[in-house]
Structure 1
Amino acid sequence: MTPFHFTAGKLPLLVSIPHAGTQLTPEVDAGLSDAARGLPDTDWHIPLLYDFVRDLGASVLIGHYSRFVIDLNRPADNQPLYTTATTGLYPETLFDGTPTFAEGKTPSAAARQEYLDNIWQPYHQQIQQELARLKAEHGYALLFDAHSIASVIPRLFDGQLPDINIGTNSGESCSTAVIEAIKDVCAAQSDYSWVVNGRFKGGYITRAYGQPQQGVQAVQLELAQLNYMDETPPFAWQQDRAAQLQKVLKPMMQAFLQAGKPL
């Protein structure tokens, strides 16, 4: 299976969706623990939730493989992104701390090197190529990294996660104008709680490619899943909830496009 699906758009905007994949390699498929078998830490339905960006004219990049094979939003050297509990390039535990693999069935170092070479590298090469194309065509590029997570995971954060979690690498990955424009969209509604650079400040993709001084602005959005789907298996899509959430996501994307234009 190819490592990703990519559609080129006409706007200076790339939407990256690295964690919606469910494809497994034979080694990972054979080794998953019972708790991991249902792929609980997947960003379920995110391509469907953001399908509207295609109509806007954005480029879209969607990873095909499960994060249990390799996490596309972690650095290749597997250095931790957070000082608090987290998961790595090759997740050894689920978000709740349960082992990802049955005892003695973790993929070999050689297999994982293949995942790095044939899944992680192509995804990031595609990001780099598309950002370069957008900069060449428009003079600048915008990167929106789309994620979701269960609203309650005690190992990762206390209590219930805010509904909308905006990450800008503590303000380093985009301009103040972009941050303020997105905050204005959030402040204009009362249905969803929100925070900027809270528990989720942006993963490797946001941190690596968000370089406003170089003409690339990046924002990560981590959504609490209960606002568009069921958080328990079989993780069903909920159309009514999703449609309501899209009433905030669409103006947020438009605000990013508007505020991201160079002065």
Structure 2
Amino acid sequence: MAAHWGGSVRSDYWDQPAFETIRPRRLVAPLVFNSPHSGRVYPERFLAMTRLDHLSIRQSEDAWVDELFGRAPHLGAPMLRAHFPRAYLDVNREPWELDPTMFVEPLSDRFNTTSPRVAAGLGTLARVVAENKPIYKDRLTLDDARMRIEGIYHPYHAALQKLLSEAIATFGVALLIDCHSMPRIMRSNDKAAPDIVLGDRYGTTCAPALIDLAETVFTGAGLRVARNRPYAGGFATRSYGRPQHGVHALQIEISRHLYMSEVTLAKNDGFEAIRALIDRLIFALIGLDLVSLVGGNAPPVEKLAAE
């Protein structure tokens, strides 16, 4: 989907899709897969604004996660994936979580300028990439932020909402799998670091049986699994995961060292094994009778994401 908006700054994605929905030929289960951070299409205008080289700017990507989960549409479940990079726009934030130091104009009270994510430089428009490297040479204009948020962020969430609404309409229930990767967690104590972190906001965004199943698939492959620490689920998991409305959401974080080089971002020898494991997870989720498990015939899903 190309990005269009009516402001004074032309969309950086006027000539190419900012994101895409990949649909199965036949919808077989109420699953929706979302890969918001694996985009790797960097607009020339954006690259001209950054002080970083092309490899450094990519350090915040969830590189190749869309490919790890890429068989979901072939197996009967839709996937929404970003083409825009996370360093350019983070749709796993509130829409207006902005750092006032990044902009020429002052930011009014309507913007969330004080969140912990903004303080860390990781708002809707990030100030830094990994290792706290500043992204931009100069300050941005608010028109640039509006172009990205009104022209890409809101349409992205509208597309995600549509997929969840379709699942609810068809099956009476929906399960959002929010797909991510994480830097390898290094611990100085004796406790083994997790390979996988499953986030359900401490039991509030999906039925226990769903996170239990995911944990069983990963531990069955010999991987170490943690729940909610250090990643409990971001904006999408928190906003869409409303079990009381029939929408369940589970965030999955995969340690990057399992399938790629964290330095060069090249796939390593483990990539195919992890992709096969993800296929196994998708098969297991599709095989669940979710309607019986979590209850179907929920009321039509309301617009859950914040505007």
Would you say the 8 A contact 1:181–1:259 is kept in 2? no
> Does residue 285 of structure 2 align to residue 256 of structure 1?
yes
In 2: Cα distance, 1:60 partner to 1:12 partner: 12
In 2: Cα distance, 1:237 partner to 1:50 partner: 15
- How much has 1:204 moved relative to structure 2? 0.6
In 2: Cα distance, 1:141 partner to 1:81 partner: 30
Q: How many residues align?
A: 254
Q: Which stretches in structure 2 are left out of the alignment for 5+ residues?
A: 1-15, 98-111, 294-307
In 2: Cα distance, 1:236 partner to 1:126 partner: 30
Counterpart in the other structure of 1:209: 240
In 1: Cα distance, 2:46 partner to 2:253 partner: 26
160 and 108 in structure 1: CA distance in 2 versus 1, 3 angstrom threshold: farther
Task: Give TM-score, length-normalised by structure 1.
Answer: 0.87
Would you say the 8 A contact 1:31–1:106 is kept in 2? no
- How much has 1:187 moved relative to structure 2? 3.1
Between 123-132 and 90-99, report the one with greater CA deviation. 90-99
In 2: Cα distance, 1:115 partner to 1:25 partner: 12
Root-mean-square deviation (Å): 2.5
Tell me which of 20, 37, 41 is aligned to 1:23: 41
- Deviation per residue, 1:168-205 (Å, 9 max, x gap): 11111101111222222233232x22111111111111
Report the 3-state secondary structure (helix = DSSP H, G, I; strand = E; otherwise coil) of the residue aligned with 1:96: helix
Within 5 Å, give how 1:113-192 maps onto structure 2. Answer: 113-152=146-185, 162-190=194-222, 192=223
88 and 259 in structure 1: CA distance in 2 versus 1, 3 angstrom threshold: farther
Counterpart in the other structure of 1:237: 267
Q: Which stretches in structure 1 are left out of the alignment for 5+ residues?
A: none
Tell me which of 112, 118, 127 is aligned to 2:145: 112
115 and 45 in structure 1: CA distance in 2 versus 1, 3 angstrom threshold: same
Report the 3-state secondary structure (helix = DSSP H, G, I; strand = E; otherwise coil) of the residue aligned with 1:232: coil
Within 5 Å, give how 1:82-101 maps onto structure 2. Answer: 85=120, 87-101=122-136
Counterpart in the other structure of 2:305: none
Percent sequence identity over matched residues? 26
In 2: Cα distance, 1:187 partner to 1:99 partner: 37
20 and 83 in structure 1: CA distance in 2 versus 1, 3 angstrom threshold: closer
